Structure 1
Amino acid sequence: MSSKDITIRDIFEEIPQRLSRILSPAPIKELLPTNFPSTELRVDFLAKLEDESILHIEFQSFNDPNMPFRMLRYYIAILERYPGSLIKQLLVYVGNRKLRMKSRLRLRNLTFSYEILDIRQIDCKVLLESPDPMDRLLACLCKVEDEVYLIEKLIKTMESMNEEERKDYLLKILTLTELRPNLRIRLTKEVRHMPIVVRPEDIKLPKRKLKKDLLYRLGLEEGKQIGIEEGKQIGIEEGRKEGEVIGIKKGLLKSAQEMVIAIIEAKLGYVPEEIANRIREIKDVEFLRSLAKKLVSASEDFMQVLAIELKIS
């Protein structure tokens, strides 16, 4: 299970007040167990509503062509546990790409359907004005027209928390915004000076992705406050081996190169080898930082900006 799936499940264990009202057709009466040991299935969210129906919500971060079959398996498992109940199923898509999944399954002897909602249909301001911090957290995934306002509200939410609560909340935000790369870049730059220590083991990413992660690289680059401790240690060790000044310069250059590569990967979904090699040949840190800013703000002309700046055809 991905870190994003785990984070969303954790959030819904606390039932975000406003979002649950948006997603649920009736008030929630009680939460139900989400695991089905006999089938090895587990759903994301299951509850009994005040009208005695059963609500099943599943969150999906990518387009899965087999989703109708998965939802059917969940439906059968729920119905076996609660026979005779009216079951309402909702698939909430939280991914970054265009929603392409179907909400209906038609076979020769079977027709099955469920509701489907792209969370970006919900205005983030609706959740940001909620008194529930979990609602504001999930606003990151909704329709965002004013990123500055969103980030301000999230930072203000964290101000009233103790250090451990702030750290947990921030990690949840950073995990969710892996699904919104541009927002994550901007958010990371805004919160990196907050007095919170985040270690590599706190960022639930595979090692190969961890060293590309923007938050991790900012730790290598700055080595303070929200900087990651392992990043600081790498900087110290390199400084001892090759001389402090040389070590810092090398660390800054590598960090800047990997930052540009990570932005390209977030935009395209992959990095052409020719472009990755070209970036690693660049030794000018300021040029790389300037390039990173241009790429973040570029949209339809992204490839054109890349080609002009890197002087490639």
Structure 2
Amino acid sequence: MRENTNGRLQGSKYDKILRENMQFILPGIIEKVLKLNIVKSAELNDKIQITRQKEVDALYMVTDADGVSSILQVEFESSNRPKMHFRMAEYRSMLHQIYDQPINQYVMYMGKDALNMPSKIDLPGFKYEYKLISFSELPYELFLSSDEPEAQLLAVLANFGDKEPAEVIQAILEKIGKGDSDVLMGNKYYEQLRVIVQLRKLDKELEMAMDSVNTFWRKERDVLFKWGKKEGIEKGIQKGEHKKAVEVAKEMLVEKEPLERIAKYTKLSIKEIEVL
């Protein structure tokens, strides 16, 4: 009984984050995941009331590039629901009674366990199907490349490819922290990330990534301070103090920092750095 209560409480945390971020998350999902060419949309009342009230995650009236209007419903689920096909069919029946429009339904699965929810009903006289998509099959770059931090957070639920989880989480932290680990403290997106990583049980990886971010920025500030204290970074480079830039680059190479990051902060080219 206790476990079920905890599960509901945890699920409500995910729901709260999704609802708070939906206006920033959904446009990217519509374009990059659902592959819909929508040019106009208007959010609809997500409480469908006929004989009983049912609340959906996202419900929009949309118009595509061809001028075709339809109802778009998107649900986010953190666990496999064995009766999801009947639940979605019930939604569809209600929507048909309310709106005289074609209806497109999607369920986005965020859970860690293998996806095994049924997406169709095939019974005598009753056939129905909705579209089911798993975050774990989508490339994490799809979300990390977004300009919206709310969407960048979803990269932790996606497929990491050949990247280690801590490496992907570090990339997320650097984006939502705008390149400064101090910004992360008290950052609402960092707090949301701490909740979302629990869907993948990546709490330890989050700690590792946070340590890496803190270590890098602490060392970088030390290096740049020592260099800038005497001449000033921009002033030194402008005067042609190439030697100082090389010294900083070598020190950052020892710390195994990416070449692109070294180039950014020393103003040396990647080719110059590679031969050091």
Aligned pairs for 1:117-266 within 5 A: 117-145=133-161, 146=163, 147-160=165-178, 166-181=186-201, 183-191=202-210
> CA–CA distance in 1 between the matches of 2:61 and 2:166?
38
1:141 Cα offset (Å): 0.6
Among 75, 78, 97, which residue is 1:58 paired with?
A: 75
Match runs of 1:3-22 below 5 Å = 3-22=13-32
TM-superposed CA distance for 1:15, in Å, is 3.6
Q: Name which one, 1 or 2, has greater alpha-carbon Rg.
A: 2
Distance 2:24 2:196 in 1: 16
Match of 1:26 in 2: 37
1:81 & 1:14 partners in 2: Cα distance?
A: 27
1:15 to 1:159, Cα distance in 2 relative to 1, 3 A: closer
Letter in structure 2 aligned against 1:23: V
CA drift of 1:37 comes to 4.0
RMSD over aligned CA atoms reads: 2.5
> Cα gap change, 1:190/1:42 in structure 2, threshold over 3 Å: closer, same or farther?
same
Q: How many residues align?
A: 193
In the alignment, what sits opposite 2:98?
81
- TM-aligned CA deviation for residue 88 of structure 1: 0.4
State the TM-score, normalizing by the size of structure 2.
Answer: 0.63
In the alignment, what sits opposite 1:106? 122
1:164: Cα distance to partner? 8.9
CA distance in 1, matches of 2:207, 2:48: 38
Deviation at 1:140, TM superposition (A): 0.9
- TM-score with structure 1 length normalisation? 0.56
Contact 1:56 1:89 in 2 (8 A): yes
- Give the structure with the higher percent strand: 2
Amino acid aligned to 1:177:
V
Relative to structure 2, which stretch is displaced further, 3-12 or 13-22? 13-22
Once the two structures are superposed, what CA deviation does each residue of 1:103-140 show, in whole Å capped at 9, x if it has no partner? 11122221111111111111001211221212211111
Amino acid at match of 1:186: E
- Matched-pair identity in %: 22
Which structure 1 residue ranges, 5 or more long, are not aligned?
196-313
Cα distance in 2 for partners of 1:17, 1:166 equals: 27
1:46 aligned residue: 59
Looking at structure 1, the residues matched to 177 and 107 of structure 2 have their Cα atoms a distance apart, in angstroms, of 33
The answer as to whether partners of 1:17 and 1:135 remain within 8 angstroms in 2 is no
Deviations 1:195-217 (A, max 9, x none): 9xxxxxxxxxxxxxxxxxxxxxx
Whole-angstrom distance in 1 between the partners of 2:126 and 2:90: 13
> Do 1:68 and 1:102's aligned partners in 2 also have CA atoms closer than 8 Å?
yes
Structure 1 residues 136 and 15, CA gap change in structure 2 (3 angstroms): closer
Partner-residue secondary structure (3-state), 1:53: strand
Q: What is the alpha-carbon distance in structure 2 between the residues aligned to residue 62 and residue 18 of structure 1?
A: 23
Give the residue type in structure 1 aligned to 2:87: R
* Closer/same/farther in 2, CA of residues 16 and 54 from structure 1, 3 Å limit: closer
Structure 2: give runs of 5+ residues left out of the alignment: 1-7, 215-276
Equivalent position amino acid for 1:14 in 2: F
Change (3 A) 1:4 1:37: same
Matched, 1:116 2:132: yes
1:169 and 1:34 mapped to 2: Cα distance?
25
| Cα separation, partners in 2 of 1:14 and 1:33, compared to 1, 3 Å | farther
